[in-house]
A and B are shown apart, each in its own frame.
Chain A
Amino acid sequence: MKQELSYRDSVHKTGRIWMFSALALLLAVPAAICVYYSAWPPVGGVLKGLLSVAPIFWTVGVIEVFTYVPMLGTGGSYLGFVTGNLANLKVPCALNSMDRAGVQPGTEEGEVISTLAIATSSIVTTLIIALGVLLLSQIAPVLESPVLQPAFENILPALFGALGVVFISKDWKIAIAPLLFMITLFLLVPSLGSAVGILVPVGALIAIGVARVLYKKNLL
């Protein structure tokens, strides 16, 4: 037990240093552009732009921290939140890897598998994008060809269809209610598509609520 704490604590310590450094670097990029070109933008313009994205994306950002940190574990969170693309890549990758390895999130083994999955995924993503930018003139015609467009437009359905089978079949009793709720909601209000990040905790609350009732009645 003591060792587990000390490992987690060391990840927290390293993670905080890396994350605050990454934050500083990310803010240094626009600052560097301003200094180099001596082109400081009008503060009002930046605020106005921020005002149109911050209400939604800051809310989603806060929600993501509370929903994904328990799934990703300590190391996985520090890495996943820096490297991004959580819902469409890192979270499914980590969940699937833990499931395949037969380990639970939140355990020491789950921590190791989740961090390895997210680190591998981050490294591969970075390399593919770097390679893509370098070879762009050769591969852009292929990637942008109309034949391939449906494949890239449908990446989320293809991902969650497969992931759904794995996790719904395990806990179908918990899954039915949030699933029906979400399908009905999107059928009735299609414009909610851009707010899917905000709906994740709604789905989680429904699932956890139903699970609690079933658990209390000994039905799980």
Chain B
Amino acid sequence: MEFNPNNTFMYVVVALVIAFVLLQSVVFFIKAWRRGKELGMDMKALKKTVGSSALFTVAPAIAILLGVIALSNALGFPLPWLRLSVIGSLTYEATAAAAAATAVGASLSQRITDPKIFSAIAWVMALGIIPGLLLVPLLGKKIEKGISSIKSKDSKWGQIFLSGLFLGMISAFLGLVFARVQEGLAGWIPVFVMLASAVLMMTCGLIRKAFNAKWIEDYALPISLLGGMALSIPITTLVQSMIG
């Protein structure tokens, strides 16, 4: 049978899986919403969470879409669409696909036309990401118990412990921003963008205090993210003109 990574068969298979995961999100959404109601939580806070999460997601989701486009040259649309909508992340999928292609003697620089090579790549991408899917159901409860036992012994320390966990993650990704500094001025662009976005976040905080504009607080992260991304364009142009 003629192999085409963009054929209807591929689209149908992929759409089924994506629909399944979408359904899971809806089920969990409803479950959490009902629970919030049961607990007598402020419904306005729940609605704000939904609104600001949706707005915040737009820009990263478009970046993920770009990843689909990048991989589609070699793999067609359905497989990258699946891989980037469900589990995985940009860095993982691109690396896994490239590694698998190399291992079977192919390259992602051109369209994969051999179904055997294509399925080898699909297997590696699927198998390479299994730990999270296996370990959350197997260990999730134990990890939670560990955290709640820390909390029940000393609730203040429990909170500090979790803050330490967040800050560890944030530090690692902020450190990453400096990874290209050795390349000279152009390598500073991510640092400048990070600072621009940080300044926007502080400005949101100041506006909230000065005008008592509580609404801005809820949208401060999407505003700073989009603003930082937008400012990266003039920052890049400026730095490039300075390098000449």
Contacts and interface: CB of A to CB of B under 8 A. Distances in A.
A120 B49 contact: yes
Contacts of A186: 175-179, 181
B138 to A, nearest CB: 9
A40 B133 CA distance: 24
B65 interface: yes
Contacts of A175: 167, 170-171
Contacts of A78: 28, 136-137, 140
Contact of A174 (B3, B137, B164): B164
A92 B134 CA distance: 23
A79 to B, nearest CB: 5
A124 B65 CA distance: 12
A182 B99 contact: no
Contacts of B92: 57
A92 B222 CA distance: 11
Contacts of A18: 24, 27
A33 B87 contact: no
A140 to B, nearest CB: 6
B169 A29 contact: no
Interface residues of B, number: 153
Most chain B CB within a 10 A radius of its CB, from A117, A119, A171: A119
Contacts of B190: 154, 156-157
B225 A11 contact: no
A112 B31 CA distance: 9
B244 interface: no
A37 B113 CA distance: 12
Interface in B125-184: 126-137, 139-141, 143-144, 147-148, 151, 156-182
Interface residues of A, number: 152
Given A101-B48, A116-B53, A171-B163, A154 B168 contact: no
Contacts of A162: 197-198, 200-201, 220-221, 224-225, 228
Interface string B203-244: 001000000000001101100111111101101100000000
Interface in A33-74: 33-34, 36-42, 45-46, 48-54, 57-58, 61-62, 64-67, 69-71, 74
B236 to A, nearest CB: 4
A82 B21 contact: yes
A44 B24 CA distance: 35
A42 B123 CA distance: 11
B86 A83 contact: yes
Nearest to A110: B162
B20 A71 contact: no
A85 B13 contact: no
B46 interface: yes
Interface string B111-132: 0001111111111101111111
A170 B85 contact: no
B18 interface: yes
A121 B225 contact: no
B69 A143 contact: yes
Contacts of A190: 179-182
A37 B63 contact: no
Contacts of A111: 32, 35
Closest 10 CB pairs of A and B: A182-B175, A204-B168, A158-B228, A61-B131, A203-B168, A41-B120, A162-B224, A161-B197, A49-B100, A39-B115
26 contacts: A7-B35, A29-B17, A30-B119, A46-B127, A49-B100, A53-B95, A64-B132, A65-B131, A78-B137, A82-B86, A83-B85, A106-B162, A112-B41, A113-B46, A133-B65, A136-B69, A150-B233, A155-B229, A158-B224, A158-B228, A160-B194, A164-B170, A181-B175, A187-B178, A203-B171, A207-B165
